């Protein structure tokens, strides 16, 4: 349901920075757990790999939302 105004939602500008911070956080956690993967059992490598996948997923989310926001603002400007 829309009230007919052209205002953007309040949360529109927060998704990209938060997703970027989450990507950074997951990358740091992957780096911190990497020595365990190299010195331990092969099953201990799953934790840093999981953090790396989470980092890439958050980065991809950030890029997709930034591109969608840019496309939406181009359409509104025209």
Distance CA 39, CA 42 (A): 9
Encode pLDDT of 3-35 as tens digits: 556 666 655 678 888 888 999 999 999 999 998
The verdict on pTM exceeding 0.75 is no
Does the residue 49 lie in any domain? yes
Long-range contacts of 44-53 (CB under 8 A, 24+ apart): 51/26, 51/27, 52/26, 52/27
Does the residue 60 lie in any domain? yes
Number of domains in the chain: 1
Does the residue 37 lie in any domain? yes
Asked if 46 and 70 touch (Cβ cutoff 8 Å), the reply is: no
């Amino acid at each position: 349901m829309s009230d007919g105004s052209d205002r953007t939602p309040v949360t529109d500008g927060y998704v990209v920075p938060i997703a970027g911070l989450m990507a950074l956080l997951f990358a740091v956690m992957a780096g911190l757990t990497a020595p365990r993967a190299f010195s331990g059992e092969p099953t201990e490598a799953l934790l840093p790999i999981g953090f790396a996948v989470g980092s890439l997923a958050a980065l991809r989310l950030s890029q997709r939302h930034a591109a969608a926001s840019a496309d939406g603002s181009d359409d509104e400007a025209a």
